[in-house]
């Protein structure tokens, strides 16, 4: 009996100590981003890493870009990492569309992760290469109809946000484009600027500086309502441009590998809540058209419920589009 009690006390102490010691000052936390550096997911990850530093007691959060296969390589890497709080994953809606897109996935979305909270919501914009000889959505839509079979659309691979948006767009138009996959929309937008591809549907966190600098042409937004910011307020939604019901908004979330101790998860979730209220972080996100999550959405249980609802929402839409990867 005494032995049992001693064991219980030892276990409780070890458990408590883990929380108190986490994160160690000399040990950086690796944040896996499953897309290329310089793109929209990398952008939010870098800004969040900075905002997390203070609430994590000065610990540094370093970004590891594990890009490829529409984010599934990086997500799988995070699923297999040591569940000690020192490896986390930041990814987007793709974690909820992958189960419908991939016949075999190297991870289980619902079983392999601890959910730490939603980070933001990001609208998308339909953009084109600067040399495209059209200047508004009506002209773009005529150009698309006249160029059947000749149009290239970039994306960040099967399961990316740009892929999902492109899929919905082609299905709404009932027209197929040649899709060109990249490891992220950072390299895709570079090729769009260079004229190697014609169109791209990408998050405002990546497109804003390029639209502002007139390096690409913007034609529409993918949200149901127009965006209020000066850069976007004159752009129609795809719904009002004639594609009734078109709507896609990208959300990002933070995850830890399954089995991460509850006290460590609590420390991380508490830090996330503080980071998402950081005025500097909010300013950066809002400046790029994103909306920072708050309240219930930053609760782990709500995050998990939301991912489950997104899996249920997108599964049938993707299945109906008949797109799969092995």
List contacts with ligand ASP (CB under 6 A): 35-36, 39-42, 92, 156, 160-162, 184-186
Residue with Cβ nearer ligand ASP (160 or 260): 160
- In angstroms, give the least distance from the CB of 321 to ligand ASP: 16
- In angstroms, give the least distance from the CB of 70 to ligand ASP: 8
Residue with Cβ nearer ligand ASP (56 or 78): 78
Closest CA to 285 of 94, 58, 63, 50: 50
- In angstroms, give the least distance from the CB of 310 to ligand ASP: 14
- In angstroms, give the least distance from the CB of 320 to ligand ASP: 21
Backbone phi and psi for residue 102, each to the nearest 5 degrees, phi listed first: -110, 130
Residue with Cβ nearer ligand ASP (87 or 204): 204
Q: Structure tokens of 51?
A: 């905002």
Residue with Cβ nearer ligand ASP (82 or 178): 178
- In angstroms, give the least distance from the CB of 92 to ligand ASP: 6
Please state the separation of Cα 129 from the chain's center in Å: 23
Contacts of 128 (CB under 8 A, 6+ apart): 134, 140, 192, 198, 199, 200, 216, 217, 219
76-94 burial code (b ≥16 CB/10 A, e <16): bbbbebebbbbbbbbbbbb
* Strand-pair partners of 112: none
- In angstroms, give the least distance from the CB of 50 to ligand ASP: 17
Q: Structure tokens of 9?
A: 């006390």
- The whole-angstrom separation of Cα 204 and Cα 186 is 12
- The whole-angstrom separation of Cα 290 and Cα 203 is 9
**In this structure, are residues 90 and 41 in contact, taking their beta carbons and an 8 Å threshold?**
yes
Residue with Cβ nearer ligand ASP (158 or 264): 158
Q: Which residue has the tokens 């953009």?
A: 127
- In angstroms, give the least distance from the CB of 163 to ligand ASP: 7
Residue with Cβ nearer ligand ASP (161 or 293): 161
Residue with Cβ nearer ligand ASP (36 or 292): 36
- In angstroms, give the least distance from the CB of 157 to ligand ASP: 8
In a 13 Å sphere around the CA of 206, the CA atoms on its Cβ side amount to 31
Residue with Cβ nearer ligand ASP (87 or 207): 207
Backbone phi and psi for residue 191, each to the nearest 5 degrees, phi listed first: -70, -30
- The whole-angstrom separation of Cα 186 and Cα 14 is 44
């Amino acid at each position: 009996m005494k032995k049992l009690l001693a064991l219980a006390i030892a276990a409780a102490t070890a458990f408590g100590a883990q929380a108190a010691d986490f994160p160690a000052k000399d040990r950086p936390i690796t944040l896996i981003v499953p897309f290329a550096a310089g793109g929209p997911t990398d952008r939010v990850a870098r800004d969040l890493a900075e905002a997390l530093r203070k609430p994590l007691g000065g610990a540094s959060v370093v970004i590891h870009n594990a890009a490829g296969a529409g984010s599934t390589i990086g997500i799988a890497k995070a699923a297999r990492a040591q569940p000690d709080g020192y490896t986390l994953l930041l990814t987007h809606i793709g974690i909820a569309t992958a189960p419908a897109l991939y016949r075999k996935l190297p991870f289980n979305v619902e079983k392999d992760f601890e959910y730490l909270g939603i980070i933001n919501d990001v609208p998308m914009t339909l953009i084109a290469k600067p040399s495209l000889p059209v200047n508004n959505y009506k002209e773009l839509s005529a150009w698309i109809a006249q160029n059947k079979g000749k149009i290239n659309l970039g994306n960040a691979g099967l399961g990316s946000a740009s892929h999902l948006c492109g899929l919905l767009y082609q299905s709404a138009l009932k027209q197929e484009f040649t899709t060109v996959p990249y490891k992220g929309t950072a390299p895709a937008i570079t090729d769009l600027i260079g004229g190697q591809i014609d169109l791209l549907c990408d998050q405002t966190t990546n497109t804003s500086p390029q639209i502002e600098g007139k390096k690409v042409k913007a034609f529409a937004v993918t949200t149901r309502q127009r965006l209020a910011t000066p850069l976007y307020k004159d752009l129609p939604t795809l719904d009002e441009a004639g594609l009734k019901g078109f709507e896609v908004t990208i959300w990002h979330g933070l995850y830890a590998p399954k089995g991460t101790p509850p006290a460590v998860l609590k420390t991380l979730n508490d830090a996330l809540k503080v980071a998402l209220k950081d005025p500097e972080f909010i300013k950066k996100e809002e400046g790029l058209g994103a909306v920072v999550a708050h309240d219930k959405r930053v609760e782990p249980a709500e995050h998990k419920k939301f991912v489950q609802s997104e899996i249920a929402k997108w599964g049938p839409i993707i299945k109906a589009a008949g797109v799969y990867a092995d």
